[in-house]
Structure 1
Amino acid sequence: MTPGRHEKQALLAPREIDSSNAVNGKHSRRTRAQRGAIRVILQVLLPCFFLCAVALYCAFNLLGDDNDDEDPTSQTSLETCAWATLQSSIPLLSVAPIERAEFLARQHRLASALAEAGVDAFVAEPSASSAYYANISASFELSERPFLMLVGADGGFAYLVPQFETGRIAGLDMVFDGAKVIAWAEEESPYDALARETKFTKVMVDEHARYMIAAGLQAAGVAVVPMSETVQALRAVKTGAEIAILKGINAFTLNLIRSLQKCIVLGVTQETVLSSAQALFSRAGVGEGFWAIVLFGDQASAPHGGKYGKTLRDGEFVLIDIGSSLHGYGSDVTRTILPSGAKVSSHLTGIWETVKLAQSAGFDRMWPNETCSEVDAASRDVVAKAGYGPYYPHRLGHGLGLEMHEHPYLNGANSEKLKVGEVATNEPGIYVTTEQAGEVGKTTGFGVRLEDPILVTEKGGVPLTGRRALSPYDP
């Protein structure tokens, strides 16, 4: 019997169900495969992609850093380049500090000078003088509460200190052979305490002491006299140990300038050269010193500096006046230089040569018994004959030691005679501002200075830098 329509549906139903199950099975298998693929992507490929991205990011950053380092106008490049040459000069700094015996000998010489002057003692606040006689650092902070070093005419040593500061002061590396400690309470006058404990009636006060010190002593009944030339001379004449330190740090400073000169390029800024120089001192393990100047072109027309932010251009000099310190003793060296390959006008070259001749003229007069004014005049005459007398506005030089500026001073009014063992800078210069340039037939200002600390010996002057400049390319 032929089946009816409903019967056909009944007969077909099982087949349709089987077909549906087959399709669902294939879909299930496909879904599992997709899930597996997704897991592979999530577990393997994505981490790989992430790591690759990180690697690329780092690589690009490293390339960027390399590009910065390769920029010859950057501080990193300049410092790295200069250090490659300068590091061989480190042995110059291997000089011993001042020994205890020398400090004590200085105190005895001072005591003799005080006895001759008819005073009871020498009084100094923390300063170059206290550093010289007792290794009391000039960096000690001054306040309204006086801390005083006292060296007696009998050779005795004492110091006046606030009572609550006795422990801290005792921790300083002072040098003495027995000391009397005068501790004063907050409710009393420190000067009355000093007068009571010492019985001093007349003292010599250090040239750097504040007015309040002299006034306080006088109010306590102690007569005060200023620092004598004899006592000034004690620190001005250097010992062998001091000269060795000054030679080491000044020769190193010149070599630092020479190292920079080989690496400076057009486009660098004044601040970059200055920062590089200071970083090189720090890298060598010495202090930044008293002074640091880097000036380009017309900015050098102001002897101690003009505006910041100037970039070096062709046709401009670079003036570097910089120093450091070793065991408290300073360096002070100036060179006016040109980077390798750079050029300036014949006029500026002539100015440089004139300054060199002026320095030589002063150097040739730095003998014992020559007066400071005569040495200054010899240098100044050269500049005046070249027609630039009005543009040499400062003295020829100053003493150098524990202070950047100390006795003797080489100026036209100083009749003091040079002594064997004294050290003074020899630093003539010519400076013409842009406003003055028309007076010398030019349109742009300029400045040139050369400086070397000179030791006075029986045989004449000796540059503590080791040598004076030969040319802007050979400083």
Structure 2
Amino acid sequence: MTGTPAPPAPGGPAPFTADDYTARMRRAAEAADAAGLAGLLIAPGPDLVWLTGYRPVETERLTLLVLRAGQDPVLVVPALEAPDAAGAAGAPALTLRDWTDGQDPYGAAAALLRPAGRYGISDNAWALHLLALRERLPDTGHLALTRALPMLRAVKDSAELDRLAAAGAAADTAYEEIRKVRFEGRREREVAADLDGLLRRFGHSQVDFTIVASGPNGANPHHEAGERAIGRGDMVVLDFGGLKHGYGSDTSRTVHVGEPTDEERTVHELVRAAQEEGFRAVRPGAACQDVDRAARAVIAEAGYGEYFIHRTGHGIGVTTHEPPYMIEGEEQPLVPGMCFSVEPGVYLPGRFGVRIEDIVTVTEDGGRRLNNTSRELAVVG
């Protein structure tokens, strides 16, 4: 039930090393110090995986990484899970403090903290653990990590970019293959199962979502594929992704069963143009909100602004959704190495929806798409 991620498949990228994880932990601790924090408290989840390579199951037993500038990282871990923690790639840089059932793990963790310090803590930390820590140190403050250090994982190095590019290419191949299957007369969940199988065939170890939203269901951006039979004349939104080599894919394309109407073609072309403008807005120094504004303006000027009901994009890395977010009010400047989606959409209630999504990385002079399948409206059978 616990342990480190599986080793990469033959031909995959070289695994991250202890030095890689040591550098990440040091950089995180220094960033916390620069932000005026006493340190960081990292719970099991994506932050812990990114910082240490250790992926334990989240349970009622406390596992907590404590990072403080100028001090060695300490991982408080249940004794029964200590062997797995010791086998993690980042373990050489960690001091393990194990505890056994019947002992007080929160007291052990509190002993590592400043009584009145202010700490960043993983967004996904259980309330059970946070409240117990606050009972031991009631004057200690806590701030969600994505508020305290929103850009901690946002800028990817070359090895991370290679993994994201491989995940994007695999998702592209899955899209090319799914266009060959029969849609008409099949249930949404059946096509979703096909997508799941294709992502796994092309190297995904984890599939996070396979949205197949046909006809009026396409007007719901997060529709769960269900029992609706897909019919001729349906627009179908496909949105799918997961993890390959530990990094995410996420792409959307909209297809049509049989020949589309003029209106359907018009709306699809509008979304395609908006997605292109969003992509063209990607460059170092631009604000995240500039990407949203560029895509949204195209849709609003065509009179469909009220039907674009979500942000234009989200970051991606060891999870499929993370900072930065392409949304009005987000003034964080783009820097090379950031990766995020550009995915405008138009959703007409009771009728159909259209979404087109690529993962994009910021380069030195603009942006580069990590999804490269056709953005034209594809006709399927």
Q: TM-score, normalised by structure 2?
A: 0.88
Identify which of 157, 178, 202 aligns with 1:239: 157
SS, match of residue 324 in structure 1: strand
**Hey, what does 1:312 align to over in structure 2?**
230
SS, match of residue 379 in structure 1: helix
Within 1, Cα distance between the matches of 2:84 and 2:364? 45
Identify which of 64, 76, 101 aligns with 1:160: 76
Give the total of aligned pairs: 368
SS, match of residue 152 in structure 2: helix
Within 1, Cα distance between the matches of 2:333 and 2:54? 30
Q: 1:207 to 1:306 in 2, by over 3 A?
A: closer
Which structure carries more helix by proportion?
Answer: 1
Residue pair 2:200, 2:207 contacting (<8 A) in 1 also:
no
Identify which of 110, 123, 127 aligns with 2:41: 123
**Alpha-carbon shift at residue 365 of structure 1 (Å):** 0.9
**Hey, what does 2:95 align to over in structure 1?**
180
Residue pair 1:157, 1:177 contacting (<8 A) in 2 also:
no
Q: How does 1:247-326 map to 2 (within 5 A)?
A: 247-305=165-223, 308-326=226-244
**Alpha-carbon shift at residue 217 of structure 1 (Å):** 2.7
1:194 matches 2:106: no
**Hey, what does 1:408 align to over in structure 2?**
324
SS, match of residue 236 in structure 1: coil
Residue pair 2:210, 2:225 contacting (<8 A) in 1 also:
no
For structure 2, list consecutive stretches of 5 or more residues without a partner in the other structure: 1-8
**Alpha-carbon shift at residue 199 of structure 1 (Å):** 5.5
1:107 matches 2:21: no
User: What letter matches 2:255 in structure 1?
Assistant: I
What is the Cα-based RMSD across aligned positions, in Å?
2.5
**Hey, what does 2:3 align to over in structure 1?**
none
User: What letter matches 1:175 in structure 2?
Assistant: G
Within 2, Cα distance between the matches of 1:92 and 1:333? 25
Within 1, Cα distance between the matches of 2:105 and 2:225? 46
Identify which of 272, 276, 279 aligns with 1:356: 272
**Alpha-carbon shift at residue 285 of structure 1 (Å):** 4.0
Within 2, Cα distance between the matches of 1:165 and 1:390? 51
Within 2, Cα distance between the matches of 1:473 and 1:95? 36
Per-residue Cα deviation, 1:163-203 (whole angstroms, up to 9, x for no partner): 44434543x5241334322233444432212233x364433
**Hey, what does 1:135 align to over in structure 2?**
53
Q: 1:263 to 1:144 in 2, by over 3 A?
A: closer
Q: TM-score, normalised by structure 1?
A: 0.72
Q: 1:199 to 1:407 in 2, by over 3 A?
A: closer
User: What letter matches 1:463 in structure 2?
Assistant: R
Within 1, Cα distance between the matches of 2:146 and 2:251? 30
Higher RCO, Cα 8 Å, sep 6+: 2
Per-residue Cα deviation, 1:333-352 (whole angstroms, up to 9, x for no partner): 0000236xx20101000010
Per-residue Cα deviation, 1:310-363 (whole angstroms, up to 9, x for no partner): 223222222211113112211000000236xx2010100001000001111111
Q: 1:217 to 1:288 in 2, by over 3 A?
A: closer
Q: 1:295 to 1:199 in 2, by over 3 A?
A: closer
1:455 matches 2:355: no
1:144 matches 2:60: yes
Within 2, Cα distance between the matches of 1:321 and 1:228? 25
**Alpha-carbon shift at residue 232 of structure 1 (Å):** 2.8
Q: 1:299 to 1:229 in 2, by over 3 A?
A: closer
Within 2, Cα distance between the matches of 1:131 and 1:446? 39
Which structure carries more strand by proportion?
Answer: 2
SS, match of residue 329 in structure 2: coil
User: What letter matches 2:74 in structure 1?
Assistant: A
Q: Give the number of the structure whose alpha-carbon radius of gyration is greater.
A: 1
Residue pair 1:97, 1:245 contacting (<8 A) in 2 also:
no
